[in-house]
Amino acid sequence: MAKKENLPLHLGEPETPYMKKLADAIFKMPTSAETYEFLKKHTKKDPSEIINYGTSSDDYARRVAKSFTLVCEMPYYYDPKIADTSESDAVRREAVLHSLDIAEERYNFVKEKYSKVKATVRQRKDKQPFVDAIKDFLKRFPDILSAQRNWAETDRKLKKKATVAEKFDSYVISLFYSLLSFGMLYRCVKNTKYRKVNKEVFQRIKEWNEDLEKQLSYKVIPIRSLVRVQLGSALVTAEYIGKN
């Protein structure tokens, strides 16, 4: 379906290191049990102290019914480099560690700015969704980051050269995900008495966005194409399950 709509597959790093790859850009849905085992292997803490949520509806449904789940995640824009599997000039380990450095910088910035406003924003109901999300991020992220660093530093598979797509994912796409956190922080501090913090967060968003734009050569994907791929994938899956 993706090829039919001329969309490149995301051939960079998987969403989590422990996702089982089934085919290019297709992975088995990870479970909380797999998350637990990953954290157990790569941290010195009890994983149950890090994981403060249940498993996915997919994992639960498979335990109580003969269900099948398809999650078809689509990009709003793409850069051709995300599908380039030729060898880059970077070692994959270095690229992954670079993305973790970016993630740590994002965490430190959010933590610093949120600490200055939390006493007030926690009292406002209109800010509660952002407060809850930021608090959860600040609580769990250090342990997750530590586990991913340990994995990146010890996994032998990362000794090889990164593909162009993997390097692009680690050096460029990671900036985009940081912008999502900054945007959430900005909505948390917007229209409060903390005008200086508001300005600082907005400035950081502007700077990171400009840096991202310089490194991207992207096209916005028409919504019609995204809907076609998602709906088509669902129908093909339903047809296959019905016959088998």
pLDDT single digits (tens) 104-134? 999 999 999 999 999 999 999 999 999 999 9
Share of the chain above pLDDT 90, in %: 91
Q: Which amino acid is at 91?
A: V
Q: What is the pLDDT of residue 72?
A: 93
Q: Which amino acid is at 209?
A: N
d(CA 116, CA 199): 13
Q: Above 90 in pLDDT, residue 244? A: no
Share of the chain above pLDDT 70, in %: 100
48-78 b/e (C-beta count within 10 Å ≥ 16 → b): eebbeeebeeebeebeeeeeeeeeeebeeeb
pLDDT tens-place string over residues 32-79: 999 999 999 999 999 999 987 888 899 999 889 989 999 999 988 999
Q: What is the pLDDT of residue 8?
A: 87
Q: Which residues pair with 77 in a beta bridge?
A: 220
What does pLDDT average to over the chain?
94
Radius of gyration of the chain (CA): 20
d(CA 186, CA 208): 14
